Structure 1
Amino acid sequence: MSIVDRLIPPRGLRVLVSAGASGIGAAIAGAFAEAGAKVHVCDVSEAALSQFHEQYPDSVTTLADVSDADHVTAVFGAQRERFDGLDVLVNNAGIAGPTGGIDAVGEQEWQRTIDVNLTAQYRFAHHAVPMLKASSSANMICLSSVAGRLGYAWRTPYAATKWAIIGLVKSLACELGPDDIRVNALLPGIVEGPRMDGVIRARAEQLELEEPEMRKRYIEKISLKRMVTAEDVALMALFLCSSAARNITGQAISVDGNVEYL
């Protein structure tokens, strides 16, 4: 195998992506499918699952709310039934959470953000690890955020969960290293798309600014002066599952054009 070939993940990997039918999750799942992987995505949106399956008809799709423990258990039942194992878990599911001062954030909003962004990552890892231990190409990739390395005023529930994911990843890398399971976090920055449009809109309202001005301020925070794409994040996920990355674990890898502050 040439050094260039080592940059491509091996074909036939069994890959599970949570919230994998739209956005960054779909970009990652689609990239693995195009690289010859056996892809399973779960998502809370039936319409998004249908659209993903239409684009990738060989994929397996499961309707699931990751904040529901029984739904997560069912996802892994489907994984075992269809693929008899797992090589790559992409712990991707997450929500933006509320925008507002800590005194305005209700406990229900806080708890919902933790349930989806953090507790779901625990649940997927909990079920995945026994299967990953039986794999010869085991990887876990957890999606954090640039808000997992920077403070993020008015978005404390979101930032708290994204920082916690880094702790989860670094701890699991130590715990699972002896089993040759690599665990890394990806930290997307300001990603083009509808979700970011909503974040910018909410932030503009919070600060009483026009939306174009708020968008301009977001771009000014980035050293490269451009947003990243979901495909940029997907390419890094593919690399982490290639043999070229065989000694990369326990890392929090930003894909963000170097966001300087939030």
Structure 2
Amino acid sequence: MELGLQGARVLVTAGAGGIGRVVAEAFLEEGAIVHVCDVDDAALSTLPAGITGERCDVSDRAAVAKLFSGIGELDVLVNNAGIAGPTGLVEEINPEDWDRCLEICLTGQFNVARLAIPLLRKSSNPSITNLSSAAGRFGFGLRAPYAAAKWGVIGFTKSLAIELGGAGIRVNAILPGLVAGDRQRRVLEAKAQARGTPYAEVERQAMAYASVKEFVTARQLADQILLLASTRGRTTSGQAIGIDGDLQMLF
């Protein structure tokens, strides 16, 4: 399928590892010009040929401004940066951990988008994809900071879609469910510890609420993002798209 992404100028936040790395490499395969930012210096040092990168904490507005000082043109923004945040009851959560989770997962998307939008207005095929989560659709016990941030991402996405539609800028959110990888494993391990439940049982219970009982892969997320950014996605905007095996709730 021809996606029309040859030569597209793409920025992926937190793009040196994990989901972001897979997304960046998928755009590269389509012939896009890909730049990533990340806070992981070791991961940045291993980027493949064809992907450029630099250090940037998206919660730091000065660092984001520095990032954009070197970006002259932009067609696609993938707001991927995020952290898992703390696990525990609300009354037990350190307020600093709450703040940090929202600073990165929600405010970080604002910090990047506000500087990307003037560049996207000049593009012939502009798009923003924000990473939310299934936690942005359901309540999530013991993960209130993360869920609150990801609900906020959906509100931010829909508001941007309304604001930017007249400029032809599409804005969507994707909502991954249980994603294969170390981060998901650490989240489930923390929940197992908090509940005093064996890890295997927590994993079984988490999967029990999905119609398709398998982990989502990072490549499946990347494929959806590619489609949204492509010329085939020109009329898709303001959507919160679940890629979660039809989750009915989060455990």
TM range (shorter): over 0.9
Q: Is the 1:9–1:239 contact (alpha carbons within 8 Å) kept by the matching residues of 2?
A: no
- Of 17, 26, 29, the residue aligned with 2:24 is 29
Verify: 1:229 aligned to 2:217, yes or no.
yes
Distance 2:17 2:247 in 1: 24
Within the alignment, does 1:18 sit opposite 2:13 as a pair?
A: yes
Q: How many residues align?
A: 250
Give the TM-score normalised by the residue count of structure 2: 0.98
2:67 counterpart letter in structure 1: V
Q: Distance in 2 between matches of 1:158 and 1:133?
A: 31
Matched, 1:67 2:59: yes
C-alpha separation between the residues in 2 aligned to 1:153 and 1:219?
Answer: 16
Deviations 1:182-235, CA, capped at 9 Å, x for gaps: 000011110000000100000001110011111111221211011100000000
Instruction: Report 1:1-262 matches (<5 A).
Output: 4-5=1-2, 8-51=3-46, 53=47, 56-80=48-72, 85-262=73-250
CA contact (8 A) 2:24 2:51 kept: no
Corresponding residue SS for 1:128: helix
Cα distance in 2 for residues equivalent to 1:89 and 1:19:
12
In structure 2, distance between residues paired with 1:250 and 1:45: 31
List gaps (5 residues or longer) in structure 2: none
The alignment-based identity, stated in percent, is 46
Distance, in Å, in 2 between the alignment partners of 1:70 and 1:60 is: 20
CA distance, structure 1, for counterparts of residue 69 and residue 35 of structure 2: 12
Between the aligned partners of 2:200 and 2:142, the Cα distance in structure 1 is: 19
Write the distance in 2 (CA, Å) between the matches of 1:10 and 1:200: 36
**1:78 offset after TM fit, Å?**
2.2
SS in 2 for 1:79: coil
Q: Give the TM-score taking structure 1 as reference length.
A: 0.94
Runs of 4+ in 1 over 3 A off after TM superposition: none
Distance 1:146 1:109 in 2: 21
Structure 1 residue matching 2:90: 3-state secondary structure: coil
In 1, the alpha carbon distance for the partners of 2:89 and 2:206 equals 19
> Which digits, 9 at most, give the CA deviation of each residue in 1:146-165, with x for residues without a partner?
00001101100000000000
RMSD: 0.9
Deviation (angstroms), 1:175? 0.2
Contact 2:6-2:30 at 8 Å conserved across structures: yes
- The one-letter code of the counterpart of 2:126 is A
Rounded Cα–Cα distance in structure 2 between residues aligned with 1:217 and 1:19: 30
What SS class does the counterpart of residue 248 from structure 1 fall into? coil
Instruction: Please give the alpha-carbon distance, in whole angstroms, between the structure 1 residues aligned to 2:12 and 2:213.
Output: 30
Distance 2:4 2:213 in 1: 31
